[in-house]
């Protein structure tokens, strides 16, 4: 589909305008994958698929592939199109659905407003999240719970109704693990400190992230008590042991690591939340629309980190006040 899209663009047949991605073009970004796709398309002879014509010669450039991917992925749906029972549960397919791809996203719309494919009726359907008056624009949902940053990166905009503040937290920001045994354990469960990425929201992190951090800072005695022996194949069942606090010392270390990581991420932004809010609030500002969208996404990330810092600090205070570990979380 990227090849076909690039061909139409080269011949001047497309009126689509690509939104500008603000993802850094480094080896960890989607651009690295697209670079590999471009090389594979060239090697497969994609430039020879279309007859010669104006602009068609050598149209498969890296920029063209980036453009085509943005056009397709910002309009495509992830649907489970498998009709055979044995195929159910496989990865969803990327599909273009005419008419449905004209609908804009509303963060007020929930899961019911997401496009769903029924393999029995072979019909894709979605439902309005509220009643509409004649002449009103109808919205769907590109996915429940999408954060402003996710919307900006995948679709090129941030809607004002979105309050799903969230930001990525690389495991590496949580500091070094306690020992080689902890490192081996985290690798055994498939979440090594050098590769795992978690999500932080304004309420903190979920239980799985706390469990990972407890395991990362657990003492030798706590690892042995949980049942971990390097070389054993029981890592997933041992991870369950860390889903609950193991000791006050371990819990304090876990919470401090999370707090310090969030504070560290906050300090790396070139502007503060207050400065961003002031820039957005200026009436008659010459702030470009694209810059305004980026600012809203960055403000959301900072709100997530600030809220998480407050949550971790409050829990640390409760521990210091004498509240037992088992009573910290509802």
What rounded mean pLDDT belongs to the chain? 83
As a whole number of angstroms, the distance between CA 216 and CA 234 comes to 17
Task: Supply the pLDDT for residue 95.
Answer: 82
Task: Supply the pLDDT for residue 53.
Answer: 52
Cα–chain-centroid distance for residue 40? Answer: 26
pLDDT category of residue 37 using cuts at 50, 70 and 90: confident
Mean pLDDT of 216-223: 94
Burial of 205 (0-12, 13-18, 19+ CB in 10 A): buried
* pLDDT, tens digit (0-9, with 9 covering 90-100), for 178-215: 999 999 999 999 999 998 999 999 999 999 999 999 99
Mean pLDDT of 41-50: 80
Q: What are phi and psi of 61, to 5 degrees?
A: -100, 165
**Quick check: 83 pLDDT over 90?**
no
Structure tokens at 120: 């029995």
**Which residues lie below 8 Å from residue 245, measured CB to CB, with a gap of 6+?**
214, 251, 325, 326, 328
Structure tokens at 147: 């954060």
Q: Is there a contact between 197 and 168 (Cβ–Cβ < 8 Å)?
A: yes
* pLDDT, tens digit (0-9, with 9 covering 90-100), for 261-317: 999 999 999 999 999 999 888 876 678 888 889 999 999 999 999 999 999 999 999
The H or E element that residue 168 is part of is: strand 166-170
Q: How many CB atoms neighbour CB 18 within 10 A?
A: 15
DSSP string computed for 7-58: HHHHTT-----PPPP-S--STTSHHHHHHHHHHHHHHTTGGGSS-S-TTTTT
- Among the ranges given (102-111, 171-180, 310-319), the one the predictor scored with the smallest mean pLDDT: 102-111
Mean pLDDT of 319-330: 90
Task: Supply the pLDDT for residue 13.
Answer: 44
């Amino acid at each position: 589909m990227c090849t076909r899209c690039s061909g139409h663009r080269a011949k001047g047949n497309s009126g689509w305008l690509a939104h500008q991605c603000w993802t850094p073009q480094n080896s960890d970004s989607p651009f690295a994958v697209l670079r590999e796709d471009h090389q594979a398309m060239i090697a497969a002879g994609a430039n020879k698929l279309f007859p010669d014509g104006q602009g068609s010669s050598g149209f498969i450039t890296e920029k063209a592939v980036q453009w085509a991917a943005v056009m397709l992925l910002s309009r495509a749906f992830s649907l489970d199109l498998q009709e055979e029972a044995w195929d159910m549960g496989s990865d969803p397919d990327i599909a273009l659905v005419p008419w449905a791809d004209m609908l804009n996203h509303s963060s007020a719309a929930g899961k019911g407003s997401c496009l769903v494919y029924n393999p029995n009726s072979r019909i894709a359907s979605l439902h309005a999240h509220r009643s509409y008056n004649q002449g009103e624009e109808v919205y769907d949902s590109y996915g429940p719970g999408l954060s402003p940053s996710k919307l900006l990166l995948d679709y090129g905009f941030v809607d004002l109704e979105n309050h799903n503040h969230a930001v990525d937290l690389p495991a590496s920001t949580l500091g070094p693990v306690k020992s080689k045994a902890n490192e081996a354990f985290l690798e055994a469960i498939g979440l090594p400190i050098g590769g795992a990425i978690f999500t932080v929201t304004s309420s903190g992190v979920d239980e799985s992230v706390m469990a990972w951090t407890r395991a990362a800072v657990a003492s030798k005695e706590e690892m042995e008590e949980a049942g971990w022996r390097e070389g054993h194949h029981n890592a997933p069942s041992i991870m369950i042991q860390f889903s609950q606090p193991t000791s006050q010392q371990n819990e304090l270390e876990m919470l401090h690591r999370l707090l310090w990581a969030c504070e560290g991420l906050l300090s790396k932004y070139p502007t503060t939340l207050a400065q961003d809010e002031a820039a957005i609030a200026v009436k008659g500002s010459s702030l470009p629309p694209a810059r305004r969208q980026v600012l809203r996404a960055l403000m959301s990330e900072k709100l997530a980190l600030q809220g998480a810092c407050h949550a971790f600090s409050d829990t640390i205070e409760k521990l210091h006040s004498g509240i037992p570990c088992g009573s910290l979380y509802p």
